Homo-oligomer: A and B are copies of this chain.
Amino acid sequence: MNLSRLSIIGVGLLGGSIGLAAGARLSSCRIIGYGHRRETLDRALEIGAIHEAANNLGEAVKDADLVILCTPVLLFEETLQAIAGFLKPGAVVTDVGSTKRSVVEAAARLLPRHARFVGSHPMAGSEKRGVEFARTDLFESALCLLTPTPQTDSAAVELVENFWRALGMRIAEMSPDEHDAVLAEVSHLPHAVAAALVHMPEAESLRLCGNGFLDATRIASGDGGLWRDIFLDNADHVKAALAKLRQSLAEFEALLTPGKSEVLRAWLDSAAVKRETLVNERLRNQE
């Protein structure tokens, strides 16, 4: 794809990895980074994640063909407000947020008519935080969810899609609401459950856990501030997912009796099969 000027707002793990990957894959693209901490920008320059560090948001997005918001979710609205007046005609804006309704709504409300927004959620990351963990291959083979609405410009969707594909990603499209409902089930609630599982036992008991528990709760080591924002932004869908989980656990509890032994086994076996199917599909996609 042809992209002359890319602007990355927020140069942490994701923003930094986007810069590294875009630098490697799109050789003629100039990459400008902005972040509120100078030392982060210096580190991003040092590892080659950005070519230039901007001193403010206006400078960061001026003349950019594509602007990617990589700040925490709850900062999107004020960032959109701050950049709105500086976007060039035809500029495309996207983001990497884990929730999509709020940013899509805010962009429609705040950006000028001559700029175009497409919501993105690249499903890559780690429980690590900061540009020092940025990796050129973070996005390779991973899935990126785009959330265009009927009002979204189709040429802008194409540009954003081509950008993520250039970074090695697979693409799926869905509505912002569908995205937030699905992610509540497969990402946000599992995070809360992992935290609850860590909170439950006394520290003494926790010491007796095995590797299975450590894997099951790895996501609970993620950044509390980022996740707080996600939970507050997607509270309604997270509550709905929580209600579904309660029902599933109630079904399980009703099977804890010798008379239901075969049903309990079928419940456990079918979860194992469903997960293995998923893992095998994933492995095929990565081939």
Contact = CB atoms under 8 A, between A and B. Distances in A.
Contact of A209 (B218, B222, B278): B278
Contact of A256 (B125, B143, B219, B235): B235
A133 interface: no
A1 interface: no
A153 interface: no
Copies per assembly: 2
A1 B221 CA distance: 41
A82 interface: no
A232 B252 CA distance: 11
A232 B249 contact: no
Interface string A40-78: 000000000000000000000000000000000000000
A103 B50 CA distance: 62
Contacts of A222: 212, 268, 272
B224 A201 contact: no
B272 A224 contact: yes
A114 interface: no
Given A200-B244, A221-B275, A235-B257, A212 B191 contact: yes
Interface in A5-63: none
A216 B214 contact: no
Given A207-B278, A216-B216, 11 more contacts: A187-B213, A193-B249, A194-B271, A199-B248, A212-B218, A216-B218, A221-B272, A224-B265, A224-B272, A231-B255, A232-B257
Interface in A211-234: 212-225, 227-228, 231-232
A216 to B, nearest CB: 5
Contacts of A277: 203
B185 A193 contact: no
Interface residues of A, number: 85
**Secondary structure class of chain A's binding surface, majority of residues:** helix
Interface in A88-130: 123-125, 127
A216 B213 contact: no
Contacts of A221: 272, 275-276, 279
A198 interface: yes
A228 B264 contact: yes
A269 interface: yes
Contacts of A206: 186, 274, 278
Contacts of A124: 210
A185 B201 contact: yes
Interface in A130-158: 142-143, 145
A83 interface: no
A216 B190 contact: yes
